[in-house]
């Protein structure tokens, strides 16, 4: 017996932009729709247009994202909101100085990863309000690592902005700004 995908793709619309996201098995029982905004300027721009309007209702000094797939979204939001963006890195470099770190388990790789906030960006965020930015929020593990770093940096989270939530919608203490929801896809057993 072999597990098969229930369909080949899932349709996503952000503003006037539509994409058919390929399904990818993350376990023998489950597949997800893969949203990869790297190189997709049109979709990233549409998402930034919509999210920046929602961010107008929030007070914050910077956008914070994790390396790497959501960097284009943070950049596009930064241009629209005129707020700087901070990238939490996945590897430590010596020029980062006295960096803070937090660990998480990635749903896409299934492996632990560490996020680092460098000393320069710690000064920008300390005692101030920020918006956390991610392309997709699924299990919330990356978001929790980002949150832990903000606590250590003494930054307050004004809101969380994402293109899509996936699976069960996360319950957050701060406002969640999301443009779409991606379902999970149970794999079908084929005989």
Rounded CA gap, 134 and 128, in Å? 19
Distances (CA, A) of 25 to 68, 107, 163: 21, 11, 21
Look over the chain and give the mean of its residue pLDDT values, rounded to a whole number.
Answer: 88
At residue 109, the pLDDT reads 61
pLDDT digits (tens, 9 = 90+) for 120-134: 998 899 999 999 999
Model confidence at 191: pLDDT above 60: no
Pairing mode, if any, of strands 129-137 and 156-166? parallel
How much is the pTM? Answer: 0.89
Q: What is the pLDDT of residues 40-89, one digit of tens each?
A: 999 999 999 999 999 999 999 999 999 889 999 999 999 999 999 999 98
Q: Decide: 160 and 134 in contact? Cβ < 8 Å.
A: yes
Look at the block and give the residue holding tokens 């930064």: 78
Residue 143: what pLDDT? 87
Question: What mean pLDDT comes out for the span 152-162?
Answer: 95
Distance CA 115, CA 123 (A): 17
Per-residue pLDDT band at 3 (split at 50, 70, 90):
low
Confidence of residue 2 (pLDDT cuts 50, 70, 90): low
What domains can be seen in the chain, in order of their start residue? Answer: 37-181 (3.40.50.2020)
Closest CA to 177 of 28, 75, 72, 49: 49
What is the C-alpha separation between 36 and 113, in angstroms, rounded?
19
Closest by CA to 62, choosing from 40, 101, 88, is 88
């Amino acid at each position: 017996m072999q597990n098969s995908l229930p369909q080949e793709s899932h349709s996503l619309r952000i503003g006037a932009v539509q994409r058919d996201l390929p399904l990818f098995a993350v376990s023998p029982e489950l597949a997800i729709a893969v949203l990869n905004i790297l190189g997709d300027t049109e979709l990233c721009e549409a998402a930034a247009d919509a999210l920046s309007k929602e961010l107008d209702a929030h007070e914050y000094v910077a956008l914070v994202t994790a390396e790497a797939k959501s960097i284009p979204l943070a950049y596009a939001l930064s241009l629209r909101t005129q707020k700087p963006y901070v990238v939490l890195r996945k590897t430590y470099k010596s020029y980062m100085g006295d960096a803070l770190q937090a660990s998480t388990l990635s749903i896409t790789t299934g492996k632990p990863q560490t996020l680092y906030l460098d000393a320069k960006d710690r000064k920008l965020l300390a005692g101030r309000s920020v918006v956390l930015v991610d392309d997709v929020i699924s299990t919330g593990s990356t978001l929790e690592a980002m949150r832990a770093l903000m606590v250590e940096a003494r930054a307050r989270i004004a809101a969380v902005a994402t293109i899509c939530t996936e699976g069960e919608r996360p319950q957050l203490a701060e406002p969640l700004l999301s443009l779409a929801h991606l379902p999970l896809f149970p794999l079908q057993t084929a005989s």
